[in-house]
């Protein structure tokens, strides 16, 4: 078992022939991911990286049975690419693109909410199921196979957490980078729920940051539904109020979305909260021992 993506996922790359799309598609294929083709409007009928290129996502679904898409389309056209994928019947959309205008995402989110599709991102590192499928931009070698699931808003902090988990003698089932934008397809709570229902996953690392209340929502859900231990960390304990810290969504707006407030509610809900990002791996090993 695994979550969202596995060795049987039939994956296409939107923005396949662009610089980013090409580079990361190569890396994904090298990892052993089942990339069945890609989409670049106007280049349909050609081949790229030894795989077919289609003009539309609908063609890719029809011709090669694509069920998962990863999007590297530039910000100005990314929301449109999301809607195209959802409309064509793709079941899992993973949007890597950073910098999509917020009002474009308001529309795209409303569009996908009416369809049977799950989106991860945007502005995220993607999803990796260890030894099966890397559908993202993360360094695959860090994620050794094991029994810990990771949910995170951040890219490099996800790699850091995975590295610590592995060094603590454990390994990863699936790591989900949900993204750092104000509007995202899958919330912390939903991602935690997916991992909670995965029989292979025995513990969950949940990494959040300042801004919004996704972590608090997840914590309350965990309090009532957890069947496995959750280790939590919130980045931005030292972030000043009212400043955006890199990610568009990482901004303290009031008393409820500070790191301290989030850590408090997470601890109250039974999550093993670490103050230092250096303690994530050890804490997970400790609670599973």
Partner 1 sequence: MNLHEYQAKELMKSFGAKIQEGIMAESVDAAVEAAKKLTADTGTSWHVVKAQVHAGGRGKAGGVKLAKNLDEVREKAGEILGMTITNRQTGPKGKLVRKVLIAQDVYYPGESETKEFYISILLDRNTGRNVFIYSTEGGMDIEEVAESTPHLVHKEFIDPHLGLQGYQLRKMAFNLGLSGAAFKDMTKFIQAIYNTYIKSDCSMVEINPCLKTSDNQIIAVDGKISLDGNSLFRHKDLAEMRDVMEEDPTEVEAGEAGLNYVQLDGNVGCMVNGAGLAMATMDMIKLSGGEPANFLDVGGTADAERVEKAFRIILRDEKVKAILVNIFGGIVRCDRVAQGIVDAYNSIGEIPVPLIVRLQGTNAKEAKELIDKSGLKVTPVILLKEAAEAVNKVLA
Q: Are 259 and 237 in contact (CB under 8 A)?
A: yes
Q: Least CB distance from residue 52 to partner 1, whole Å?
A: 26
Check if the beta carbon of residue 24 is closer than 8 Å to that of residue 80. Answer: no
Is 10 or 153 the residue whose CB approaches partner 1 more closely?
Answer: 153
State how far the Cα of 259 lies from the Cα of 266, in Å rounded to an integer. Answer: 10
Closer by beta carbon to partner 1, 103 or else 197: 103
d(CA 217, CA 183): 15
In contact, 14 and 70? CB cutoff 8 Å:
yes
CB 199 → partner 1: shortest distance, Å? 29
Which of 24, 48, 247, 272 is an active site residue? Answer: 247
**Which one, 227 or 238, has the nearer CB to partner 1?**
238
Nearest CB to partner 1, comparing residues 70 and 157: 157
**Nearest of 24, 3, 36, 281 to residue 129 by alpha carbon:** 3
- Tell me the closest approach of the beta carbon of residue 1 to partner 1, in angstroms: 26
| Least CB distance to partner 1 at residue 229 (A) | 21
Residue that the structure tokens 């029989």 belong to: 199
Place of tokens 């955006």: 244
Q: Which of 183, 181, 178 is nearest to 158 (CA)?
A: 178
Measured from the CB atom, is 44 or 277 closer to partner 1?
277
How far apart are CB 44 and partner 1 at their closest, in Å? Answer: 27
Secondary structure string (H, E, C) spanning 129-157: ECCCEEEECCCHHHCCEEEEEEEECCCHH
DSSP readout, 198-266? -TT--EEEEEEESSSSHHHHHHHHHHHH-SS-EEEEEE-TTPPTT---SSTT----SGGGSHHHHHHHH
Q: Are 2 and 174 in contact (CB under 8 A)?
A: yes
Catalytic residue check, 24: no
Tell me which residues touch partner 1 (CB under 8 A). Answer: 75-76, 99-107, 109-110, 137-139, 142, 152-160, 163-164, 167, 180, 182-183, 207, 209-210, 212-213, 233, 235-240, 242-243, 245-250, 254, 259, 275-279
Q: Give the active site residues.
A: 247
């Amino acid at each position: 078992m695994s979550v969202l993506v596995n060795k049987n996922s039939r994956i296409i790359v939107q923005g396949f022939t662009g610089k980013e799309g090409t580079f990361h598609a190569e890396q994904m294929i090298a990892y052993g991911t089942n990339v069945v083709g890609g989409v670049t409007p106007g280049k349909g009928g050609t081949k790229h990286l030894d795989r077919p290129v289609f003009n539309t996502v609908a063609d890719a679904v029809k011709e090669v049975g694509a069920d998962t898409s990863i999007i590297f389309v530039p910000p100005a056209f990314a929301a449109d690419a999301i809607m195209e994928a959802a409309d064509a019947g793709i079941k899992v959309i993973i949007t890597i693109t950073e910098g999509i205008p917020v009002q474009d995402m308001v529309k795209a989110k409303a569009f996908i909410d009416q369809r049977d599709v799950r989106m991860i991102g945007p502005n995220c590192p993607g999803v990796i199921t260890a030894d099966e499928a890397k559908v993202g931009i993360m360094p695959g070698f860090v994620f050794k196979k094991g029994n810990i699931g990771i949910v995170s808003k951040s890219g490099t902090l996800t790699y850091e957490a995975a590295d610590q988990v592995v060094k603590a003698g454990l390994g990863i089932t699936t790591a989900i980078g949900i993204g750092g934008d104000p509007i995202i397809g899958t919330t912390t709570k939903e991602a935690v729920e997916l991992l909670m229902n995965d029989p292979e996953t025995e513990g969950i690392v949940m990494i959040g940051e300042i801004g919004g209340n996704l972590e608090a929502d997840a914590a309350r859900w965990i309090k009532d539904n957890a069947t496995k231990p959750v280790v939590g960390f919130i980045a931005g304990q030292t972030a000043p109020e009212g400043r955006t810290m890199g990610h568009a969504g990482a901004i303290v707006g009031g008393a409820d979305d500070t790191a301290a407030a989030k850590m408090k509610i997470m601890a109250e809900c039974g999550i093993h909260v670490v103050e230092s990002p250096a303690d994530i791996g050890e804490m997970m090993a400790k609670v599973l021992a």
